[in-house]
């Protein structure tokens, strides 16, 4: 129920209640007043009649008594006057032959107990009030009754019954009540008008506040509630206007700032400012949580997997590709395709993997949108499965260059939805770009720490980190590893004779020669100084011996051009097998080292395979 209706209903109820109360109270009051008045009236008449009868008896003038009673009966409002003698008076003076009347039950009762009786009665000709009063013999008073009556004091000498009409008095009461009710109604109407005038600003202001709040819920905070009074209600209107204006300005500023962060157009007039701002802030918060999560990830693949989950769960995109530029090349590699890690290229011509410039997003560094510009990229395979699809390719800038490309694929009728969430997705990508770049730099730094700077081979630290993985893989395949320890013969003489620069040239040439003599799956490690280590997977026995002999022969034939001279060197090689010679990898490396020293002791430039007695001799020594 509206406030206006409530106030009106309340006022009407109060007015009617007041009228009812006034009418009831007036009626009861006038009734009681009338009864009391009539009672006193009847009592006064009875006293007059009593005195008149006593005087008539004293003067022996019955005619005067009868005339008096006759005149009394003609008084206005008087209906009946009855005088009844008691039995004792009738016995002494005889019955009153002219006014002999039969006493009724009430008169008989009053005659017996001497108590006056009053009653309001309803007769055919209207309301009347009856009073039946006793005449009691007494010495006190104006007349001594015992002078004439031979009765004891206190004896009831007779009763008088008087009936008075109350019609006129009731009419007067009704008239008075009507006047009072009319006055009350007039007063209440005036009060109602005044009250309505007083509360009207409250009602109107409340209605304006309600409408303004409803608009605010819909995102419209443009309030202009009229201030109709200078009291608290007017102040409420003014304060609400100020509050909504403050909220409008604040939300507008926040929305513009967030839109700027999202690189999104500001909120349109028909949009819900509050909802759009909440949605945008929520998107930024989710992106911040995403950034915090990827910062704690250890590797780039973990970041790309998390980004893949965001695409599928947050944006409901299931067809997509994430490509990354291969460092130091012009190639691209697919990292995640439709949520699958290391899946093959599906939505583009595979040519882009070999020649990254074929990717328009990679080449231009701009967002490529075939939703707005169909056919913009020739490398996109839109009808790979017969369906008409569109794509949006977003370059991810790292260190000022395109480091990765995210490709979104969808049906054409889903294009509008992609445009709606694209600003939010760009936030995720902007947050991810520096983290991915940091991980890439860390990987590069880590790789440099695991690589010998001069020869480009893995270093001993790499072996220390990779050994556990290598052993685990070997155990899963239930295969064997051959460990070759290689040491250049008389390398110290090169440094002492020709200088360290010449020694570096020899080591570089040696590294190239060793790499050329082994398989791509084999590991070549510069173990320290002029020592090199070769780990051959799934190679044992004669096959390993052939590779080792080939390395020895190639090194023997290797020629290093020095200024004014050509240098040739030989190499000593020791071989052990894991887990044949030892069930501990590092012990197998030590065994290969022992075999290598036996090769040097045997005359150098040779290959020696480890035997158990070599270790015993080494221990004794």
Catalytic residue positions, numbered = 530
Reading the block at residue 580, the tokens are: 């044949």
> How many whole angstroms separate alpha carbon 224 and alpha carbon 284?
33
Whether 484 and 596 have beta carbons less than 8 Å apart is answered as no
Reading the block at residue 425, the tokens are: 């997705």
Q: Which of 448, 450, 404 is nearest to 300 (CA)?
A: 404
Q: Would you call 59 exposed, middle or buried from its count of C-beta atoms within 10 A (0-12, 13-18, 19+)?
A: exposed
DSSP string, 41-60: HHHHHHHHHHHHHHHHHHTT
Cβ atoms within 10 Å, residue 252: 15
> How many whole angstroms separate alpha carbon 209 and alpha carbon 211?
6
> How many whole angstroms separate alpha carbon 314 and alpha carbon 412?
20
Residues in Cβ contact with 439 at an 8 Å cutoff, skipping those fewer than 6 apart: 297, 299, 300, 303
Distance of CA 81 to the CA centre of its chain: 91
Q: Would you call 324 exposed, middle or buried from its count of C-beta atoms within 10 A (0-12, 13-18, 19+)?
A: buried
Q: Which of 373, 359, 358 is nearest to 419 (CA)?
A: 373
Helix H or strand E encompassing 31: helix 3-58
328, 338, 514 from 508: Cα distances, Å = 22, 44, 10
Specify the pairing of strand 531-537 against strand 523-528: antiparallel
Distance of CA 503 to the CA centre of its chain: 72
Specify the pairing of strand 156-165 against strand 481-488: unpaired
> How many whole angstroms separate alpha carbon 524 and alpha carbon 508?
13
DSSP class of residue 412?
G
> How many whole angstroms separate alpha carbon 376 and alpha carbon 280?
30
DSSP string, 344-365: PP-SB-THHHH-GGGSHHHHH-
Reading the block at residue 289, the tokens are: 């949580």
Give the CA angle between residues 6, 9, 10 to the nearest 5°.
80
Specify the pairing of strand 481-488 against strand 531-537: antiparallel
> How many whole angstroms separate alpha carbon 404 and alpha carbon 365?
10
Reading the block at residue 157, the tokens are: 């000498």
């Amino acid at each position: 129920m509206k406030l206006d209706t409530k106030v009106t209903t309340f006022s009407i109820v109060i007015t009617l209640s007041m009228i009812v109360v006034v009418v009831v109270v007036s009626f009861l009051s006038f009734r009681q007043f009338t009864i009391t008045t009539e009672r006193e009236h009847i009592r006064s008449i009875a006293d007059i009649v009593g005195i008149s009868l006593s005087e008539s008896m004293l003067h022996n003038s019955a005619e005067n008594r009868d005339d008096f009673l006759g005149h009394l009966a003609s008084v206005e409002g008087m209906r009946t006057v009855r005088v009844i003698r008691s039995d004792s008076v009738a016995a002494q003076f005889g019955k009153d032959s002219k006014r002999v009347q039969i006493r009724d039950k009430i008169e008989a009762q009053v005659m017996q107990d001497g108590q006056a009786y009053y009653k309001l009665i309803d007769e055919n000709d209207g309301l009347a009030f009856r009073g039946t009063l006793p005449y009691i013999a007494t010495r006190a008073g104006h007349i001594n009754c015992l002078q004439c009556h031979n009765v004891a004091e206190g004896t009831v000498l007779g009763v008088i019954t008087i009936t008075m009409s109350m019609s006129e008095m009731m009419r007067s009461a009704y008239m008075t009540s009507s006047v009072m009710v009319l006055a009350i109604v007039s007063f209440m109407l005036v009060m109602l008008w005044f009250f309505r005038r007083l509360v009207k600003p409250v009602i109107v202001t409340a209605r304006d506040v309600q409408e303004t709040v409803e608009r605010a819920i819909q995102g419209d905070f443009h309030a202009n509630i009229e201030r109709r009074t200078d009291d608290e209600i007017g102040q409420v209107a003014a304060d609400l206007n100020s509050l909504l204006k403050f909220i409008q300005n604040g939300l507008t500023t926040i929305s513009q700032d967030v839109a700027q962060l999202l690189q999104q157009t500001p909120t349109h007039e028909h949009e819900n400012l509050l909802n759009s701002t909440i949605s945008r802030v929520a998107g930024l918060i989710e992106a911040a949580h995403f950034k915090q999560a990827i910062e704690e990830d250890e590797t780039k693949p973990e970041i790309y997997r998390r980004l893949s989950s965001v695409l599928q769960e947050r944006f409901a995109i299931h067809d997509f590709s994430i490509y990354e530029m291969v460092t130091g090349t012009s190639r691209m590699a697919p990292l995640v395709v439709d949520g699958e890690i290391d899946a093959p290229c599906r939505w583009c011509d595979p040519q882009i993997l070999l020649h990254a410039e074929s990717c328009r997003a990679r080449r231009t560094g701009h967002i490529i949108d075939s939703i707005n510009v169909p056919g913009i990229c020739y490398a996109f395979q839109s009808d790979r499965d017969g369906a008409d699809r569109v794509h949006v390719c977003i370059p991810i800038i790292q260190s000022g260059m395109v480091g990765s490309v995210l490709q979104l694929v969808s049906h054409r009728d889903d294009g509008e939805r992609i445009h709606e969430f694209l600003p939010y997705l760009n936030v995720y990508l902007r947050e991810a770009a520096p983290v991915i770049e940091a991980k890439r730099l860390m990987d590069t730094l880590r790789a440099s720490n695991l690589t010998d700077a001069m020869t480009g081979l893995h270093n001993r630290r790499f072996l220390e980190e990779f050994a556990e993985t290598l052993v685990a893989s070997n155990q899963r395949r239930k295969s064997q590893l051959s460990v070759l320890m290689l040491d250049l013969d008389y390398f110290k003489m090169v440094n002492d004779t020709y200088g360290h620069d010449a020694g570096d040239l020899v080591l570089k040439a040696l590294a190239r020669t060793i790499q050329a003599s082994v398989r791509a799956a084999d590991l070549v490690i510069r173990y320290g100084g002029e020592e090199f280590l070769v780990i051959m997977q799934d190679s044992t026995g004669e096959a390993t011996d052939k590779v080792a002999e080939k390395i020895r022969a190639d090194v023997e034939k290797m020629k290093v051009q020095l200024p004014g001279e050509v240098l040739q060197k030989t190499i000593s090689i020791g071989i052990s097998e894991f887990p044949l010679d030892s069930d501990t990898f590092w012990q197998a490396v030590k065994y290969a080292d022992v075999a290598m020293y036996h090769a040097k002791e045997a005359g150098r430039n040779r290959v020696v395979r480890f035997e158990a007695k070599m270790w015993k001799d080494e221990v004794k020594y």
